[in-house]
Structure 1
Amino acid sequence: MQQAEQTSVAAPTPSRRRTERAGARKPQRVPESIGTLLTLLLEQPVSLYAAAVLRIGYGLLYLAFLLREFPHRDEIWGPGSPWTPELARQLFDQTGWVSILTLSDSQAYFEACYVLAVVTSALFMLGWRTGAVSVLFAIVVASFHARAIFMTDGGDNLILLMAVYLVFTACGRRWSLDARRTRLRACAGPTSSLPVDRGAGGLRHQFRSSQRTLTAVLHNCGMFVIAAQVCFLYGSAGLYKVQGSSWGNGTALHYVLNLGLFRPWPELSLIADEHDVLIAIACYLTVLLQVAFPFVLFGRLKYPVLTMLLGMHLSIAVLMGLPLFSGAMIIADAVFLPDRFYRTPGRLWRRAGLRTDARDAGSPVHGESPLLPSQPAASSLRA
């Protein structure tokens, strides 16, 4: 009888066995998750297409900005500006800013710096020698921003931050001249068939492995900082609006539309201001989108939120005359779109090209009766 009691006590129940198995599996999942996270952080750069979109977007935006202000360049940044280089240098002594534009008061030197800025923006947009050009682009943006710090609209503040962050990312891996050169070099194959010393080859392999790890870490950290910067920007803007009574009663946009400084199209602003209900809805929706933005980034709800934010920024660009600020925000939002979103148009384009080639060659396409046997048609498509 004692043996039966010991057996009944020792034999675990089914629920107990499930609990023990779950407890045994739980400590194993945590190290696996940590290992997966470290592998993703150390070995694989993430969001390469998003980084390329940021590079192209900010390079193009700043290039358009410099070309747009070309007739007024001397009044804004040059020696003929009311904010003279001497005043700028006195401010730099207090703030710690620096600018290559204040190194000389010569007009020829300023024109050379302006040409350098235009060429650097174009090369950064195209992705030529991105590692070095990204540093030069950040220096150019910081120099022009510091030189006319009181003559900006807020958009170049975000461009300056993004230019600094993009220095640490591998933003030239996709959709760039660097990527094209790498692809052509890979297609050409090895250029030398001479024997290689094993010791030197091992050191070279270790160096390249360390370089890839460092590049992946810097890139992933840079993309994380960019995403966090945008989240902080939206969240703080929304929480700041909540504190104001005009946003709470839905009248804030009414006052915005009647500011003379931000009315490039007065007739259009008056037309928009006539719809009181829509103005109130836009106020509440703006606050809701900005406050909720950091919390919807991990689900499908982010796509309609990003679409509504796109409409909001386009409205700001048109109604308030702030295209630089709106463009900088629209480009920053692109960091939250996955790489498969950017690969989809190319995949659809290639699929449409295959259908066109198959139709021209007489091969069967979807929805048509096959004219050839299935095996030759498949091989012809692969060819």
Structure 2
Amino acid sequence: MATGPVQWLSERAGAFWSLVTDRPVSLYAAAVLRIGYGLLYLVFLLREFPHRDEIWGPGSPWTPGLAEQLFDQSGWNSILTLSGGRTYFELCYVMALLTSALFMLGWRTRAVSVLFAVVVVSFHARAIFMTDGGDNLILLMAVYLVFTACGRRWSLDARRIRRATARSAKAPGPVIRSYWLQQLSDTRGTLTTVMHNCGLFVIAAQVCLLYGAAGLYKVQGASWGGGTALHYVLNLELFQPWPALSHVVDQYVTLIAIASYVTVLLQVAFPFVLFGRLKYPVLAMLLGMHIGIAVLMGLPLFSGAMIVADAAFLPDRFYLLLARSGRRAAGRMGLRRPTPPGEAGSRSVPPQLRGGSTGIGESATPGRARPDDACRDRLAPDPR
């Protein structure tokens, strides 16, 4: 009887270790996070381009000297405070735009992801009193994505690796590698896989913590319990980009009360529905909620950051189906050349990078092999 619990713990530990080390999970979801946050921050910097000097530059009321004093107390830092010159600031701004674009496109993602995190941290710290929840979430995600293999799918890196693989396949003779080089490559692949999986697990935990804490905080409020919280939100002048629209929506008292209760229910239940199919309608309702926040409250950055974060919980098969549907639609419209039968499935994913990765919160069925499980992602070179 004593060996029962020990054996059970050993099996569970072995299953967890296999989950972490066998192959990188949710590679397409990681690519969506990279594209989403890179695009979101690029649009944000372009939107604030006319006001860049007043927010982050030498003309800001929050001077570099004041920022340095705050850094001494908070431990923050920013490359924007290294010099107070306008030329240096403009150069940093251009580099931030370029870094965001390259990160979105997935060019040399391993190095560019670090630069993107530095850019986000620097701009966030330089004007920390002008940030909101959306800025905070983008900051956290930029740091977490450094540890993921977010350049393995839908990136310029993946395209470069695919072409290099095609050229090497045509080269005469096999490539002979020494035993130690092979061991070093395998170890590097395993470490990359572990870092990627742990990074995505941390991202998932962060989003669950955010929703759960927000929901539990709302439960304690009388206005949310009474269904009147959204009524007060719609009448705040600070969050009325279109006052007429807010007043029209505010007339539907019953719908506002229902929306208040549903908001609390979705946020509290979110961490508990990730391991079943119930998460799909929950994610759809959260998408509608965030779109409503962006339109009615004028918080597009926050809503966009949350929508991108929710995309991490969709399985890779969803994104593969979405990509195939897009290719078929483009082919019917004459916007894409048909793929030759012999190359089906090889144009978007290089052979050595294929893997049956599942979404966060879903696991593959044990003992059931998938068509693309022959080559493990952890044995492939990291295209980042």
Pick the TM interval, shorter chain: 0.7 to 0.9
1:37 aligns with 2:2: no
Which amino acid is 1:50 matched to? A
Q: In structure 2, list runs of 5 or more residues that go unmatched.
A: 346-384
Distance 1:344 1:196 in 2: 35
Say what the alpha-carbon RMSD is for the aligned residues.
2.8
Q: How far is the alpha carbon of 1:35 from its aligned partner?
A: 3.0
Residues 356, 321 of structure 1: CA spacing in aligned structure 2 closer, same or farther, 3 A cutoff?
A: closer
Q: Summarize the alignment of residues 1-383 of structure 1 with structure 2, pairs less than 5 Å apart.
A: 31-189=10-168, 201-348=178-325
Q: Give the structure-2-normalised TM-score.
A: 0.82
User: Are the structure 2 counterparts of residues 355 and 119 from structure 1 closer, same or farther at C-alpha, using a change threshold of 3 Å?
Assistant: closer
Higher helix share: 1
- Structure 1 residue 33 displacement after superposition: 4.8
CA contact (8 A) 1:75 1:81 kept: yes
TM-score by length of 1: 0.83
Shift of 1:100: 0.2
SS in 2 for 1:81: coil
Q: 1:248-299 CA deviation, whole Å, 9 max, x = no partner?
A: 1011111101111110100000001111111100100000000000000111
1:29-61 C-alpha deviation (Å, 9 max, x unpaired): 765554343222112000000000000000000
Aligned residue for 1:303, secondary structure, equals helix
Q: How many residues align?
A: 339
Letter of the 2:155 counterpart: S
SS of the residue corresponding to residue 300 of structure 1 reads coil
Distance 2:21 2:262 in 1: 39
Q: In structure 2, do the counterparts of structure 1 residues 174 and 196 end up closer, same or farther at CA, with 3 Å as the change threshold?
A: closer
- Determine the C-alpha separation between the residues in 2 that align with 1:123 and 1:353: 25
Distance in 2 of aligned mates of 1:216 and 1:295: 26
Alpha carbons of structure 1 residues 196 and 59: separation in structure 2 relative to 1, 3 Å: closer
Larger Rg: 1
Gaps (5+ residues) in structure 1?
Answer: 1-19, 362-377
Relative contact order (alpha carbons < 8 A, sep ≥ 6): 1 or 2 greater? Answer: 2
User: What is residue 348 of structure 2 aligned with on the other side?
Assistant: none
Instruction: After TM superposition, give the deviation of residue 154 of structure 1 in Å.
Output: 1.9
Paired AA for residue 58 in structure 1: Y
AA in 2 matched with 1:45: P
| Per-residue CA distance 1:54-74 (angstroms, 9 max, x = gap) | 000000000000000000000
For 2:70 and 2:332, how far apart are their aligned partners in 1?
Answer: 63
Greater displacement, 57-66 / 189-198: 189-198
Distance 1:26 1:94, change over 3 A: closer
Instruction: Spell out structure 1 runs of 4+ moving beyond 4 A.
Output: 23-33, 190-198, 349-357
Structure 1 residues 82 and 183, CA, compared in 2 at 3 Å: closer, same or farther? same
Task: String of CA shifts for 1:72-93, please: whole Å, max 9, x gaps.
Answer: 0000000100111111111111
CA contact (8 A) 1:153 1:322 kept: no
